Amino acid sequence: LLTDTGRLAAATARVLRGRRVTGRFHAVRLRPGSGAAWACGLLSATPGLYVVDLRPPGATALAHTLPGRPTALERALTSGGRG
């Protein structure tokens, strides 16, 4: 959470200085047994990632992310990285 908050603060500072920050959409595969609703809620609660769609049967989520590597929470709840 601290890493994500730092990433969000840096992105906000760049925007305030007139620089552009581009996020990206990624398909992320949820770990089996993680519980899609819980996983998506937890991932969306962090400043650097927001789930915008969940594809049935709850195995893949479409998420908007800020630039940077996946956080520990993202690695714990997903498998296979960002696609």
Number of structural domains (the chain) is 1
**Rounded to two decimals, what is the model's pTM?**
0.74
Please tell me the distance from the alpha carbon of residue 61 to that of residue 29, in angstroms, as a whole number.
6
Residue ranges making up the domain that contains 76: 2-82
The SS3 of residue 41 is helix
pLDDT means per 10 residues, the chain with 83 residues, are 77 89 89 90 88 87 87 87 74
Yes or no: say if 78 and 29 are a contact pair by the CB < 8 Å rule. yes
